[in-house]
């Protein structure tokens, strides 16, 4: 391969330099040379990509789908007198569930009877007896 013409390359823009270098390389390659390549090269290249996709699926997508399904089940099983926490951190007791409008009414203050109406998707979790006992003992199990 002949050395590039540096005196000409100094005044030619970069894209034209790349084009000229590619033409020089193509001119030096014999025209009748067969393309030496492995017929299985494409599959060898795709195998790591498929492995990465499978790893991504099992580590990211599948657990998220399982979590979404559990959340949908939690919202579908809401009933009156369930103790819940909203995504905003508000603790309350369910007083009414309107499944067709996807709304839940929560009583947030027992002394005044203050109620909030929130979207069913705003429920973050349902507090069970196990959760309330764990919170009162500082989260330590015996």
CA distance 125 to 110: 20
Helix (H, G, I), strand (E, B) or coil at 105: strand
- Sequential pLDDT tens for the chain (142 residues): 555 555 555 556 777 777 777 777 666 656 555 555 778 888 888 999 999 999 999 999 999 999 999 988 988 888 898 999 999 999 999 999 998 888 999 999 989 989 999 999 899 999 887 666 655 555 444 4
Cross-strand bridge partners of residue 84: 92, 126
- For the domain spanning 79-136, the CATH number is 2.30.30
Distance CA 92, CA 27 (A): 78
């Amino acid at each position: 391969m002949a050395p590039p013409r540096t005196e000409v390359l100094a005044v030619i823009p970069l894209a034209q330099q790349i084009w000229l270098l590619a033409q020089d390389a193509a001119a030096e390659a014999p025209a009748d040379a067969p393309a030496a390549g492995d017929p299985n090269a494409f599959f060898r290249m795709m195998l790591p990509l498929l492995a990465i996709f499978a790893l991504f699926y099992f580590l990211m997508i599948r657990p998220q789908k399982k979590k979404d399904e559990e959340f949908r089940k939690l919202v579908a099983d809401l009933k009156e007198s369930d103790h819940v926490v909203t995504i905003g951190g508000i603790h309350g007791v369910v007083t009414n569930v309107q499944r067709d409008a996807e709304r839940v009414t929560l009583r947030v203050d027992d002394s005044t009877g203050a109620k909030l109406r929130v979207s069913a998707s705003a429920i973050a979790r349902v507090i069970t007896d196990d959760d309330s006992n764990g919170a009162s003992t500082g989260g330590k199990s015996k």
